[in-house]
Chain A
Amino acid sequence: MPFKTTSERGAMASREEVLALQAEVSRREEELSSLKQRLAAALLAEQETERLVPVSPLPPKAALSRDEILRYSRQLVLPELGVHGQLRLATASVLVVGCGGLGCPLAQYLAAAGVGRLGLVDYDVVEVSNLARQVLHGEALAGQAKVFSAAAALRRLNSAVECVPYAQALTPATALDLIRRYDVVADCSDNVPTRYLVNDACVLAGRPLVSASALRFEGQITVYHYDGGPCYRCIFPQPPPAETVTNCADGGVLGVVTGVLGCLQALEVLKIAAGLGPSYSRSLLIFDALRGQFRCIQLRSRRPDCAACGERPTVTDLQDYEAFCGSSATEKCRSLQLLSPEERVSVTDYKRLLDSGSPHLLLDVRPQVEVDICRLPHALHIPLQHLERRNAESLELLGEAIRERKQGTQERVAFPVYVICKLGNDSQKAVKILQSLTAVQELESLTVQDVVGGLTAWAAKIDGTFPQY
């Protein structure tokens, strides 16, 4: 039919209006729910001053209410837990150190199960790159403190659970006092200094420590300092050299893997709090998500000469753990300083040089998986690992690229090569390697510099459309 009748046009118009109104309603509903979430977090932030007041111990509980019986009925009928166990959970307090990939699922299950009080420690704010694994935080609260976002979510889940947010880093000055106010401690942190700090504070305060960690497709969980069992230092007396430690930002992690570990950690906390006793004291459970395997490794017993829990401990108060581990507890990416300022250029200077059309080679040394995410089209890609292994094919490729770009330039002048990576650490390592290769004349004369801050700085300062990851 070539044209519509008047009544049909009217019907079309009103259908469009209905759709438009529906869209507007759902937009405003979303806006309202986002405002409500922000309000809840803001209200909690207002109460933050409370944290300076010592939290009083939870009073013993004699019986469950009718509502509590209904709410916890599925776990109450488990003979191993029962009313007795549930009453113990209701008067238990747990300190959650870190509200990230482990802390979120852990706190969620502890609140759901009816643990009386949850202390939440984290200095950090919610970022968009957290949302794929830190499941208590929503889009609406990006930029807010994680502890307030988590507390608001936990309150929505179970209003009877008392959440105490501490929007601060755990430090040697605050850790002991804080840990003494709680019955069980869950280490959900993401760095080595905090792991030693939490361990030592738990040993000094006499608290059991349920410690989990995850990276890439792997997870580990152990209960330390429980019933005469070993502490973290018994197993790892010396911290690893800082340059051998990979964090989740650099190494990556799959959210489900932190979720699995956070849930196992919650299970151990619940068993301790309910009086059932943990399963992973004196043992380490490792989860290999790629192989789909769990392995339980029998650990050594307490080390008589342990610096923290041994016969004659040298750790009698909390120390400077960042110095002890040679790394920061709050810096997300370590910045290496391998090169002198003359061996480096800023993204701004590199952009100027690029625009001038002056002949040079830009070498991207990131792993292939990161180049697949985003790249500068004019860069040559050779992963750092290939340079480290002096991969013949890669060096050939590099030599060819240099000769090609050098055509028509003055032969005698050292050819400029700029090295770039994600953040400006690997690029410095690559510069060192290229310098050593030119020194032994495996490559011709070059001046090699790296781009400070890497592609992250490029995205921040030069090209706002370039992806950040």
Chain B
Amino acid sequence: MVLRCQVEVLYFAKSAEIAGIRSETISVPQEIKALQLWNEIEARHPGLADVRNQVIFAVRQEYVELGDQVLQLRSGDEIAIIPPISGG
């Protein structure tokens, strides 16, 4: 049985515009590869595919490469999707 947990996903800048929300709580496996976690989020908001190569993907406020790195998540963990902004 896959153990799951509830994490909070925060959307910033363009990703909030695409997702249409600024945060949501989702259920994900406690043990998951970074890329799989991204894919779960992208499945909820397919438009995020447009920015996947330009986002800072942060788990517990730390940058995570979208790759095979296995994450150990706990309920309440914060996932942030941060596309760059360039205005000034």
Known contacts A239-B54, A244-B51, A295-B80; A253 and B87 CB within 8 A of each other:
yes
Contact with B along A281-320 (1 / 0, CB 8 A): 0001010101100011111100000000000000000000
Would A286 and B63 count as touching, CB distance under 8 A? no
Known contacts A295-B61, A299-B56; A220 and B84 CB within 8 A of each other:
yes
Which residues of chain A are near B88, meaning CB under 8 Å?
98, 100-103, 188-190, 212-214, 248, 258
C-alpha spacing A454/B32, complex, angstroms: 48
Contact with A along B54-88 (1 / 0, CB 8 A): 10101001110100000000000000101111111
C-alpha spacing A43/B54, complex, angstroms: 44
The minimal Cβ–Cβ distance linking A332 to chain B, given in whole angstroms, is 11
Contact with A along B12-54 (1 / 0, CB 8 A): 1110010000100000000000000000000000000011011
Which residues of chain A are near B22, meaning CB under 8 Å?
290-291
Would A240 and B83 count as touching, CB distance under 8 A? yes
Q: Which of A212, A253, A298 touches B63 (beta carbons < 8 Å)? A: A298
Which residues of chain A are near B17, meaning CB under 8 Å?
246
Would A215 and B13 count as touching, CB distance under 8 A? yes
The minimal Cβ–Cβ distance linking B50 to chain A, given in whole angstroms, is 5
The minimal Cβ–Cβ distance linking B12 to chain A, given in whole angstroms, is 6
Contact with B along A52-64 (1 / 0, CB 8 A): 0000000000000
Q: Give the size range of A's interface with the partner.
A: 35 or more
C-alpha spacing A248/B86, complex, angstroms: 9
The total number of A-B Cβ pairs within 8 Å is: 91
- Beta-carbon nearest neighbor of A188 in chain B: B88
C-alpha spacing A29/B15, complex, angstroms: 50
Q: Which of B50, B80, B87 touches A241 (beta carbons < 8 Å)? A: B50
With an 8 Å Cβ cutoff, the count of chain B residues facing the other chain is: 23
- Beta-carbon nearest neighbor of B54 in chain A: A240
C-alpha spacing A192/B54, complex, angstroms: 12
- Beta-carbon nearest neighbor of A258 in chain B: B88
Would B53 and A238 count as touching, CB distance under 8 A? yes
Would B14 and A297 count as touching, CB distance under 8 A? no
Would B87 and A192 count as touching, CB distance under 8 A? no
The minimal Cβ–Cβ distance linking B59 to chain A, given in whole angstroms, is 10
C-alpha spacing A300/B83, complex, angstroms: 15
C-alpha spacing A253/B82, complex, angstroms: 18
The reply on A429 being an interface residue by CB < 8 A is no
Most buried by A among B53, B56, B86: B86
C-alpha spacing A106/B18, complex, angstroms: 32
Most buried by B among A102, A189, A238, A297: A297
Which residues of chain B are near A188, meaning CB under 8 Å?
88
Which residues between 72 and 108 of chain A lie within 8 Å of chain B, taking CB atoms?
Answer: 98, 100-103
C-alpha spacing A248/B87, complex, angstroms: 6
The minimal Cβ–Cβ distance linking A111 to chain B, given in whole angstroms, is 19
Q: Which of B14, B61, B63 touches A300 (beta carbons < 8 Å)? A: B63
The reply on A236 being an interface residue by CB < 8 A is yes
C-alpha spacing A286/B61, complex, angstroms: 11
The minimal Cβ–Cβ distance linking A397 to chain B, given in whole angstroms, is 21
The minimal Cβ–Cβ distance linking A130 to chain B, given in whole angstroms, is 12
Would B87 and A251 count as touching, CB distance under 8 A? yes
Would A286 and B65 count as touching, CB distance under 8 A? no
Would B87 and A246 count as touching, CB distance under 8 A? yes
The minimal Cβ–Cβ distance linking B40 to chain A, given in whole angstroms, is 20
C-alpha spacing A251/B86, complex, angstroms: 11
Which residues between 219 and 272 of chain A lie within 8 Å of chain B, taking CB atoms?
Answer: 219-220, 235-236, 238-241, 244-248, 251, 253, 258
Q: Which of B53, B63, B83, B87 touches A297 (beta carbons < 8 Å)? A: B63
Would A296 and B63 count as touching, CB distance under 8 A? no
The reply on A191 being an interface residue by CB < 8 A is yes
Would B61 and A238 count as touching, CB distance under 8 A? no
- Beta-carbon nearest neighbor of A257 in chain B: B87
Which residues of chain A are near B83, meaning CB under 8 Å?
240, 244
Report 18 cross-chain contacts, Cβ distance below 8 Å, ordered by A residue: A189-B86, A189-B88, A190-B88, A213-B85, A215-B86, A220-B84, A238-B54, A240-B84, A244-B50, A244-B51, A246-B14, A248-B88, A286-B12, A295-B61, A296-B61, A297-B56, A299-B56, A300-B63
Report the 8 A-B pairs with minimum CB-CB distance, sorted nearest first. Answer: A215-B87, A248-B87, A102-B88, A298-B62, A240-B54, A190-B88, A215-B85, A213-B85
A residues touching B (Cβ–Cβ < 8 Å)?
Answer: 98, 100-103, 188-192, 195, 212-215, 218-220, 235-236, 238-241, 244-248, 251, 253, 258, 284, 286, 288, 290-291, 295-300
Given contacts A98-B88, A240-B54, A258-B88, 4 further A-B contacts (CB under 8 A): A244-B51, A244-B83, A247-B86, A251-B87
